[in-house]
Amino acid sequence: MGGMSFSTIFGVLGAFGLFLGAIAFSTTHYWIFLSLQSLVMVVGGTLASTFISYEPRYVFLSLKLIGKIIFTQKIGRNILKAEVGRIIRWAYTVQRSGVPVLEKEAQKAVRGDRFLRFGVEMVVSGYTGEEVREILANSIETTFGRNTVQVNILKNMAAASPAFGMIGTLVGLIIMLDSMGADPTKLGPGLALALITTLYGIILARMIFLPAANKIMQREQIIRFRNYLIAEGLVMLADRRSPRYIQDKMNSFLDPAIHFNIDAARRNQQTEQAARA
């Protein structure tokens, strides 16, 4: 992850700000929206249900990921364009000096990137393009499946929290109706308190669990797309395709606005070298 994701922070502050602002403009009895019993019912019930449904390790990982969505992801549009350029540079290296030289040139570039290192090692080892594609595709999909387990857990929590909110409301209504005959004047405050749990459940679901699940899923889909892009480039390296063919094939995966252009990159490089001279 990179720096702070200001759009995510703005969204969270905006969502809770609108909620708190609506309360501030509508009533001076702010305390009626605070209920420890209701919070315990919703949060405790949601966590209990989740721990019953999933292994504890994955539940804890899912809760940790909620906090991580406030950080930006490293993979963006420009990064994808740079990935194409890197594969093309490697293609020229292979064309000029052969595959063994690729191993030395790629050694620094793949540091910390297990997927890319794995793919380069297969190309250097002499795997065919089809073999590289098959193995990398399997790696991409199994990794995506593992990393999206947490998404399913958060979506389950998003579904469970309103349900436990409703359970808390029903409990409150039953208690209120049971004591209503003794003092009918407590009907209004009792009903308000009973509804708080439903409110808490909806807030947790729609402002925390579900948005976090959607954000994580989107990021994992972006990583999967990047890995398929890299895999396609490595397949063509293994098949000794020409750099221009690799450029056109990899550009077909991208938005035309960020297509990599070999000639433009060379002109820019020559301009920079002339300026330094």
8 Å CB contact between 59 and 50: yes
Question: Exposure of 12 by Cβ count < 10 A (0-12 exposed, 13-18 middle, 19+ buried)?
Answer: middle
Residue predicted with more confidence, 254 or 274: 254
Residues 60-89 have pLDDT tens digits of 999 999 888 887 777 777 788 888 888 888
Question: What pLDDT does residue 151 have?
Answer: 94
- pLDDT at residue 45, rounded to an integer: 94
Structural tokens at position 106? 């790629």
Q: What is the pLDDT of residue 53?
A: 93
20 vs 17, 82, 105, CA distance in Å?
5, 44, 56
Please give the pLDDT value at position 31. 80
Return d(Cα 265, Cα 137) in angstroms, integer. 30
Q: Work out the pLDDT band at 266, boundaries 50, 70, 90.
A: low
pLDDT tens readout for residues 125-155? 889 999 999 999 999 999 999 999 999 999 9
What residues are paired with 4 via a beta bridge?
71
Q: Model pTM?
A: 0.81
* Residue 234: per-residue pLDDT: 93
In whole angstroms, what is the distance from residue 180 CA to residue 183 CA? 5
Q: Which residue has the tokens 């995510």?
A: 8
Q: How is the chain split into domains, by residue range?
A: 1-262
Q: Which residues contact 149 (CB under 8 A, 6 or more apart)?
A: 58
**In this structure, is the dihedral angle defined by the CA atoms of residues 92, 97, 103 and 106, taken in order, positive or negative?**
negative
| Cα(61)–Cα(56) distance, integer angstroms | 9
Alpha-carbon distance 157 to 36, whole Å?
20
Cα torsion at 87, 91, 92, 95 (round to 10°)?
170
Under 8 Å between Cβ of 116 and 230: yes
